[in-house]
Amino acid sequence: MIKLDNVSKVYGTGTEALSDITLEIEKGELVFLIGETGSGKTTLLKLLIRDMLPTKGSITVGEFDVVKLSSSKLPHLRKKIGIVFQDLRMLMDRTVYENIALPLEVAGKPLAEVKKRVDELLLQVGILSHKEKFPIQLSGGELQRAAIARALALSPEIFLADEPTGNLDEKTAHEIIQVLADINKNGTTVVVATHDLGIVKKFAKRLIALDKGKIAADSKRPTHAEKTEDKKEEKAASAHGSSEPKEEKDTKENEKTEDNKEHEKAEHKAKESK
């Protein structure tokens, strides 16, 4: 679903924000992109939506070659991705309702549908009662929820959240990540950039640790070799009449094996860079 191949980004100032990043994120995954401030998390997310181009390397998002994408196809890529930026970018002179309705209106949805969808989204993120408030009248957590709802409006296949728990207390931060995990459960591929390791650890999902623009660790799902091994074991198990479903088995295997080691490494790296 998302593929980066030897991607580097050097800003005009000469800062190399990302260097030689190669990674793959599969459809339906929930991934935490962790790393200290300045490690390149936001840069990576911005490259995915083609907010800017990489200095080198290739990026694929779904069926799109992001680097070579023509400007006429850019809206198609953007429609696929919902993003909540680090600074949220809510329109301060519009209500929560108006902020969330905007992308739907721009997409030409009829008023009745817009109203229905906004209510649905507000309910999903748990702030229906704040519908008519202005952003300034919301708490940090509520504002984050409103920004999430807006980014979800057009039902994107991929959801990116940049530091969604920044400045939130632990309980609220946990609730926000839970909202993102629920979005993922509905089938959306979710990538969350954060330095809040304590929170993400509780969710036991894939961690990609960035350190000074490089991948320091990746607790990814099994490598091809491991998958092949799994398949062999699976075949052997089914030959013996085991009825254990594949999905569940994969997860259990991962918990026991390399995945755990990589997970620890990713966590360790993130702690180190603090």
Ligand X SMILES: Nc1ncnc2c1ncn2[C@@H]1O[C@H](COP(=O)(O)OP(=O)(O)OP(=O)(O)O)[C@@H](O)[C@H]1O
For binding to Mg ion (CB under 5 A), which residues are involved? 41-42
In this complex, which beta carbon is closest to Mg ion, that of residue 35 or of residue 135? 35
Shortest Cβ distance from residue 212 to ligand X (Å)?
8
Residue 38, binding choice from Mg ion, ligand X, none, Cβ under 5 to 8 Å by partner class: ligand X
Residue 15 CB-half CA count within 13 A: 9
Would you count residue 54 as binding ligand X (CB under 6 A)?
no
Element (H or E) spanning 19, and its range? strand 16-25
Hey, which bits of 26-150 come out as E strands?
30-34, 56-61, 64-65, 81-84
CB 208 within 8 A of CB 23: yes
Q: Can you tell me the distance from the alpha carbon of 213 to that of 148, in angstroms, rounded to the nearest whole number?
A: 26
Q: Can you tell me the distance from the alpha carbon of 178 to that of 51, in angstroms, rounded to the nearest whole number?
A: 27
| Given 17, 30, 96, 149, the residue binding ligand X (CB under 6 A) | 17
**C-alpha distances out from residue 71 to 66, 75, 83, 203, Å:** 10, 8, 19, 38
In this complex, which beta carbon is closest to ligand X, that of residue 19 or of residue 99? 19
Stretch that binds ligand X, among 10-18, 68-76, 111-119, 148-156 (CB under 6 A): 10-18
Which residue do the tokens 């259990």 mark?
A: 252
In this complex, which beta carbon is closest to ligand X, that of residue 8 or of residue 86? 86
Would you count residue 269 as binding ligand X (CB under 6 A)?
no
Would you count residue 42 as binding ligand X (CB under 6 A)?
yes
**x/- map, 130-169, ligand X, by CB under 6 A:** ---------------------------------x------
Stretch that binds ligand X, among 41-49, 109-117, 122-130, 172-180 (CB under 6 A): 41-49
| Given 195, 205, 263, 269, the residue binding ligand X (CB under 6 A) | 195
**C-alpha distances out from residue 39 to 18, 42, 195, Å:** 8, 9, 10
Q: At residue 116, what is the residue type?
A: K
Residue 167, binding choice from Mg ion, ligand X, none, Cβ under 5 to 8 Å by partner class: none
CB 153 within 8 A of CB 117: yes
Shortest Cβ distance from residue 211 to ligand X (Å)?
10
Query: Which residues of this protein are in contact with ligand X, per CB under 6 A?
Result: 11, 13, 15, 17, 35, 37-43, 86, 163, 195
